[in-house]
Amino acid sequence: DKGAYPFYMLKEIDEQPAVMRRLVSEYLDADGQPMVEEQMLADIADADHIYIIGAGTSYHAGLVGARMFEKFAKTPTTVHVSSEFAYEQPLLSAKPFFIFLSQSGETADSREVLVNVNKNHWPSLTITNVDKSTLSREATYTMLLFAGPEIAVASTKAYTAQIAVEAVLAKALGEYLKSEDAKDFDLKHELATVANGMQAITDSKDKLEEIVSHYLSKPRNAFYIGRGVDWAVSLEAALKLKEISYVQAEGFASGELKHGTIALIEKGTPVIGIITQDRTAGLTRSNLEETQARGASILTIVSRHLAKEDDTVILPDVNPYLTPLLSVVPAQLLAYYTSLGKGLDVDKPRNLAKSVTVQ
């Protein structure tokens, strides 16, 4: 029931702080130690490579998670679109471990990959919102998202829950493997900070609605740009805008723009920079200026410690691996208000189904 909300999507965006807190209580004990099946950690520790499989938003959550498995658990990790992996399987390592990301647990393309994984007796984990879903039943292990039902076609709280569960797993695996980085990663504290930060962003909706009316209500095209995890979030932010507001949006690695795509920038094209990483902040800022010089209307979503006077949305500071949990929220709201302003059915965009059960 969506209660007083006009659309489920807005309700689900607002539920994200509560989902973060729920995940803390489900997966971290009083001392902040992860509560994760030991045998699963042993199986992943035994593997030489993690393959993450997903589609759409779940694929994007995988792009964020992979960096955490490499940082905190020192395990090489690659992320694959399930519909590609199913038919063009790359050369695999000797001891693969598969992680399936799927809100519904029913996505046909991902199921196709799992059938083959099982034929080869490779161990697997499904991270899903739906207990007893097909992907959950057929994988070796399951971790639940505890996000509550997600009704809107555009995935929001499942994306942030997937990233938080990946963080739990990265920490658990890293501690199992005695990584110092994992030990120092105070996830309980970080997720509490994230929850408060999400709350602050969802409390300032008016500002995002106003940005939409100035910059996004008319243009047919828009760009999100960033580097590293900010690029990963750019892909998700662009997908949100495309699927519910029908603005042709692209998420782009900001350094790649000048290799061709910058030709698309015209007067008034919105270019939104996501800036949360110390090493690349300056570079993304200069890439934004390059587009501004060609007429783009530039907007920024920036972590507080990197913020400058003219920035558009300022995010509370969190661990650099977890910034996607915050930077995606304004992007979800920008997509929501763009769709709303056009009078579209936010929850049920044209041509789309919540769960894609055909290949």
Q: Are 100 and 112 in contact (CB under 8 A)?
A: no
Question: Which of 103, 126, 142, 291 lies at the binding interface for ligand M6R (CB under 6 A)?
Answer: 103
Q: Smallest distance from the beta carbon of 197 to ligand M6R, in angstroms?
A: 22
Return the residues of window 121-160 that contact ligand M6R according to CB under 6 A: 153-155
Q: Smallest distance from the beta carbon of 349 to ligand M6R, in angstroms?
A: 8
CA distance 347 to 75: 38
DSSP one-letter code for 228: T
Residue 59 CA, chain-centre distance (Å), reads: 8
Of the two residues 74 and 354, which places its CB atom closer to ligand M6R in the complex? 354
C-alpha distances in angstroms, 317 versus 107, 228, 323, 326? 35, 17, 8, 9
C-alpha distances in angstroms, 243 versus 203, 317, 338, 352? 24, 29, 11, 8
Of the two residues 153 and 331, which places its CB atom closer to ligand M6R in the complex? 153
Of the two residues 12 and 190, which places its CB atom closer to ligand M6R in the complex? 12
Q: What is the dihedral of CA 101, 102, 108, 111, to 10 degrees?
A: 50
Q: What is the dihedral of CA 341, 151, 52, 332, to 10 degrees?
A: 20
355 binding ligand M6R? (CB under 6 A):
yes
10 binding ligand M6R? (CB under 6 A):
no
Positions marked catalytic: 354
Joined tokens for residue 151: 């009704």
Residue showing the smallest CB distance to ligand M6R in the complex: 56
CA distance 304 to 308: 9
Question: Which of 75, 83, 104, 280 lies at the binding interface for ligand M6R (CB under 6 A)?
Answer: 104
C-alpha distances in angstroms, 349 versus 55, 105, 157, 243, 334? 18, 21, 18, 7, 16
Return the residues of window 12-71 that contact ligand M6R according to CB under 6 A: 55-58
CA distance 256 to 263: 12
Q: Smallest distance from the beta carbon of 113 to ligand M6R, in angstroms?
A: 11
Of the two residues 55 and 182, which places its CB atom closer to ligand M6R in the complex? 55
Q: Smallest distance from the beta carbon of 355 to ligand M6R, in angstroms?
A: 6
Of the two residues 153 and 225, which places its CB atom closer to ligand M6R in the complex? 153
Residues 171-190, mask of contacts with ligand M6R (x by CB under 6 A) = --------------------
Residues 215-254, mask of contacts with ligand M6R (x by CB under 6 A) = ------------------------x---x-----------
Of the two residues 190 and 347, which places its CB atom closer to ligand M6R in the complex? 347
The strand pairing partners of 174, in sequence order, are none
Please report how many Cα atoms fall inside a 13 Å half-sphere around the Cα of residue 298, on the Cβ side.
Answer: 21
Q: Smallest distance from the beta carbon of 81 to ligand M6R, in angstroms?
A: 10
83 binding ligand M6R? (CB under 6 A):
no
Size of the site for ligand M6R (CB under 6 A): 16
Q: Are 46 and 95 in contact (CB under 8 A)?
A: yes
Stretch that binds ligand M6R, among 83-91, 104-112, 295-303, 323-331 (CB under 6 A): 104-112
Range 312-317 contact pairs with CB under 8 angstroms and sequence separation of 24 or more: 312/211, 313/201, 313/207, 313/208, 313/211, 315/197, 315/201, 315/276, 316/193, 316/196, 316/197, 316/200
Of the two residues 107 and 303, which places its CB atom closer to ligand M6R in the complex? 107
Question: Which of 92, 200, 264, 356 lies at the binding interface for ligand M6R (CB under 6 A)?
Answer: 356
What does the binding site for ligand M6R look like in residue numbers (CB under 6 A)? 55-58, 102-104, 107, 110, 153-155, 239, 243, 355-356
